[in-house]
Chain A
Amino acid sequence: MEGISQATNIMNSAMQVATQTAQQPDSFLPASMLEQADQIKQAISANDSLQTSQSTTSGEAGTSFANMLKSLAQDVSVKSAQAGEAVQGVLAGEGVPLHQAVIAAEEASVSFQLMVEVRNKLLESYQELMRMQV
């Protein structure tokens, strides 16, 4: 739940930055997504309430928004590997309980959905920005 509300916060500030950048067309370059992500990170740091919510969950890896996305992707990858191991453990008769494998698989699937949702939001705000009239 916390992760989701945080993602929404980040997306909201992404939209803010996108709007700000569009209002100053001189300073806007069609930069790479990561450069833009750094701007978003600055916007997050500027906002105290957002910063507290970020520092509680992202931990030491949360130096930039890009890093945070990276650690999210890594988390999802780890979860999916764990699910794979658990299923393998069940099938190989290594004494892994069935429910543990199924729950691990579900958890991997839901966190993958979260990652896809974050990516969709990011891309959506980027495309919104690109469609903007100057």
Chain B
Amino acid sequence: MIRIMSGADTTVAALNAERMKLEVISQNIANANVTNTPEGGPYKRKEVVFESVMNEAFKSQDGNNETPMMVKVGKVETDETPGITIHDPNHPDADAEGNVTLSNVNIHEEMVDMIMASRAYEANLSAMKYARSMAVQTLRIGRS
């Protein structure tokens, strides 16, 4: 198969990873006020960890070691930091002493993470854009 836009695979993988990160962040924000989950206890913040993988398609083609590294979501970690506890005896999830443990999601932190994920996505889109424009410009070499 011809590879006309170099790095397209790598960029697609990176975009997938960033999109996954954005999804997890929105999940955190959506569950910020949840005090009761199926596993019991308040919602615990999730965090995406990226990892590099070799681009196998390139490896089989030339057999050298300089294969582009693709990024993928390695794992989704759970943040085990305890959330703050408030005293609210009227809350349905309050314990015997009337204390409720809230989720450990910090909205401000999540917003900053979201901006970062969104900017990283944008950066990858730019990489794609330039890869395309390089290919198209190269095709125009012979034109008068």
Contact = CB atoms under 8 A, between A and B. Distances in A.
Interface residues of B, dominant DSSP? helix
Given A78-B1, A111-B4, A114-B139, A100 B132 contact: no
Contact of A111 (B2, B15, B128, B138): B2
A110 interface: yes
B113 to A, nearest CB: 20
Report, as a range, how many residues of chain A touch the other chain.
20 to 34
Contacts, number: 58
Contact of B135 (A97, A100, A103, A110): A110
Report, as a range, how many residues of chain B touch the other chain.
20 to 34
B19 A103 contact: no
Contact of A110 (B16, B125, B136, B142): B136
B28 interface: no
B127 to A, nearest CB: 11
B2 to A, nearest CB: 5
B5 interface: yes
A79 B8 CA distance: 13
Contact of A97 (B8, B16, B142): B16
Contact of B5 (A72, A75, A100, A107): A107
B70 to A, nearest CB: 14
Nearest to A121: B142
Contacts of A106: 5, 128, 132
Interface of B: 1-6, 8, 11-12, 15-16, 19, 125, 128, 132, 135-136, 138-139, 141-142
Given A100-B15, A103-B128, A114-B139, 6 more contacts: A1-B6, A75-B1, A79-B1, A107-B4, A110-B132, A114-B4
15 contacts: A3-B2, A4-B141, A8-B141, A75-B2, A97-B15, A97-B16, A97-B19, A99-B15, A99-B19, A100-B12, A103-B8, A103-B128, A111-B4, A114-B2, A121-B142
